[in-house]
Amino acid sequence: MLYSTLCYHDEAVTTAWSAEHDAAVIADLRKVQDRWAAKVGPVVRLMPTSAATTLRKTENLVIDGPFAETKEQLLGFYVVDVATLDEALAFARDLAAANPGGAYEVRPVMLYQPDGRGGADGGA
Q: Which of 34, 36, 33, 31 is nearest to 87 (CA)?
A: 36
Which of 1, 26, 61, 101: binder of another protein (CB under 8 A)? Answer: 101
Which of 23, 47, 55, 61: binder of another protein (CB under 8 A)? Answer: 47
Q: Which of 110, 65, 108 is nearest to 88 (CA)?
A: 108
Consecutive H or E run containing 12:
helix 11-14
Judged by beta carbon, residue 81 or residue 94, the one nearer another protein is: 94
Q: How far is the CB of 53 from another protein (least distance, A)?
A: 6
Q: Which stretch binds another protein (CB under 8 A): 4-12, 31-39, 84-92, 107-115?
A: 4-12
Residue 95 neighbours by CB distance under 10 Å: 19
Which of 26, 55, 63, 85: binder of another protein (CB under 8 A)? Answer: 63
Q: Which of 30, 35, 114, 38 is nearest to 81 (CA)?
A: 38
Q: Which residues bind another protein (CB under 8 A)?
A: 10-13, 15-19, 21, 47-51, 53, 62-65, 69, 96-97, 100-101, 119-121, 124
